[in-house]
Amino acid sequence: MVNDVVVVGAGPVGLLLAAELRLVGVDVTVIERAAARSPHSKALTLHPRSLEVLAMRGLAGPFVREGVPVPTGHYGGLPVRLDFSVLDTRFPYTLVLPQLRTEQLLEERLRALGGEIHWRHRALEVRQDADGAEVDVAGPDGTYTLRAAWVVGCDGAGSAVRTSAGIDFPGTGTTATGLLGDVVLDAPPSAPSVDNEYGGFLIVPLADGHHRVAGSTRESLTIPADRPLTFEELRGHMCQVAGTDFGMRAPRWLSRFGNAARQAARYRDGRVLLAGDAAHMHMPMGGQGLNVGLQDAFNLGWKLAAVCQGRAPDGLLDTYHAERHPVGAALLENTQAQTVLGATHTPDAQALRSVFSRLLAAHPAVNRQFAGELSALDVAYPADGAADRLTGTRAPDLGLDGAPEPSLYPLLADGRFVLLHLGTEGDAGREPGDALAAGAIAGSPDRIRAVTARPTTAHDGWAGRRTVLVRPDGHVAWDTALSTK
């Protein structure tokens, strides 16, 4: 049997990608080397843009109901928080929700669309030719080979797909390590972080009564990442920094993490593509890794589906690298900068923390810029045309009067393009040429939902727009202005 797509890895990125493909009827096989989902959650937060991504498919509700909204974020563990409440979004907060629950909800989505996961199936090697690719798989009943038109590696930083495809993974190795523990704190601090010249820790309350403590001290930074972390060691480092262990007890997960920072040289190699940690790894600063990975999958999903179904040439997949590789590079840059601020416990680093804290406190524009970067709401893709065009930018959940839905995002639920006619009644912006041009971009006219409506919410850059074509991933494909004649 020949598959349309084999997705290697059933973490959040692989699950969302597979669900996006199944949404429009693409045949997908998902394989995962683990026997079951890990009970431990490496990531804890969903950022505003990730919640918008989920909202575009009608999925945000369960996440928001179960998660804990926090209207701030952190940059390098600085005591002055980033203010997400000022961001132009229906989700102006970080949502604390363990990765395990995120994966479970995304798996429910995939299964509802007819997809399934093959557990204990490990990708050994990937080969490709002009017509497709093959994946050698070690399963519970022996070794076999899957044939597919496309293979996507969503299999983490140690990606077997990336390695066997010969895609370089340049960057820097681990030079410092941090500590992580999910524990009970009988007397938790009122502030979300503690730090001084000895070290620093972030302390995040979890919904089940536990706390996530993560950080480092001068001494812990040099301990190899593969050395097991003991509870007594974690308590000792916390006491060194805070003067107390806050009544720490009942550890259920202890781990170390490193600051290696690498990015795949290319996100596409012929019939092989990479997403998430397989494409980029970094110090887990700001909770960005899972979120950027989800957004990789959302960018790739509609493009890969269009190619699989013959609605677009495979050159469309080159835009995946062109659009997402710079986002990954920016991710590495800001996490490396945060590592200097949050995991370098020297007098010089303390001075730098003081300077940055004053900047964030005294200059709302600086705070807003960092919040926009970490939330991914400021991501815009390269586009030709005048500087005042919306093309390439993120579309907000524009309120609409006269549309089948009250706002833009529900109109994207089926994964089609949305052609918005926003001109006044009788405006010349609804000529057939708009739909013909949109059809050429979308790959076929049946993949476009045309809507005529009046905007009911104001957003930067949207005033005076006549016609806007919104891609399935919520970015603007092109736009035109109202006539001023």
pLDDT at 287: 83
Cα separation, 30 vs 20, in Å, equals 13
Cα separation, 211 vs 185, in Å, equals 7
pLDDT at 176: 93
Token pair, residue 183, equals 């524990």
Whether the predicted pLDDT of 428 surpasses 60: no
Whole-number Cα distances in Å, 380 to 228, 369, 475, 477: 41, 14, 8, 11
Who contacts 469 (Cβ-Cβ below 8 Å, separation ≥6)?
Answer: 417, 418, 419, 420, 437, 438, 441, 442, 448, 476, 477, 478, 479
Who contacts 452 (Cβ-Cβ below 8 Å, separation ≥6)?
Answer: 402, 403, 421, 430
Average pLDDT over residues 142-158: 97
User: Which residue is it, tokens 């505003």?
Assistant: 48
Task: Check if the beta carbon of residue 353 is closer than 8 Å to that of residue 341.
Answer: yes
Pairing mode, strands 72-73 and 82-83: antiparallel
| Confidence bin at 387 (pLDDT 50/70/90) | low
Helix 99-112 × helix 12-23 angle, to 10°: 20
* Helix (H), strand (E), coil (C) string for the chain: CEEEEEEECCCHHHHHHHHHHHHCCCCEEEEECCCCCCCCCCCCEECHHHHHHHHCCCCHHHHHHHCEEECEECCCCCCCCEEHHHCCCCCCCEEECCHHHHHHHHHHHHHHCCCCEEECCEEEEEEEECCEEEEEEEECCEEEEEEEEEEEECCCCCCHHHHHCCCCCCEECCCCEEEEEEEEECCCCCCCEEEECCEEEEEEECCCCCEEEEEEECCHHHCCCCCCCCHHHHHHHHHHHHCCCCCEEEEEEEEEEECCEEECCCCEECCEEECHHHCEECCCCCCCHHHHHHHHHHHHHHHHHHHHCCCCCHHHHHHHHHHHHHHHHHHHHHHHHHHHHHCCCCHHHHHHHHHHHHHHHHCHHHHHHHHHHHHCCCCCCCCCCCCCCCCCCECCCCEEECCCCCECHHHHCCCCEEEEECCCCCCHHHCHHHHHHHHHHHCCHHHEEEEECEECCCCCCCCCEEEEEECCCCEEEEEEECCCC
Over residues 20-61, the pLDDT tens digits come to 999 999 999 999 999 999 999 899 999 999 999 999 999 999
Measure the CA dihedral 48/53/55/59, to 10°: -110
Average pLDDT over residues 118-145: 97
Say if pTM beats, i.e. exceeds, 0.85: yes
Over residues 310-349, the pLDDT tens digits come to 999 999 999 999 999 999 999 999 999 999 999 889 899 9
Angle at 436 between CA 432 and CA 440, to 5 degrees: 170
* Sheet of strand 94-96: strand arrangement: 45-46, 94-96, 68-70
Least confident segment among 141-150, 159-168, 422-431: 422-431
Pairing mode, strands 2-8 and 142-153: parallel
Whole-number Cα distances in Å, 212 to 202, 227, 250, 442, 455: 8, 20, 12, 44, 42
Whether the predicted pLDDT of 446 surpasses 90: no
Pick the more confident residue, 385 or 188. 188
Cα separation, 202 vs 180, in Å, equals 10
- The number of beta carbons lying within 10 Å of the beta carbon of residue 231 is 14
pLDDT at 7: 98
Who contacts 405 (Cβ-Cβ below 8 Å, separation ≥6)?
Answer: 411
Over residues 248-272, the pLDDT tens digits come to 999 999 999 999 999 999 999 999 9
| Confidence bin at 433 (pLDDT 50/70/90) | low
What is the average pLDDT value for the chain, to the nearest integer?
93
Average pLDDT over residues 180-185: 96
pLDDT at 442: 74
Share of the chain above pLDDT 90, in %: 86
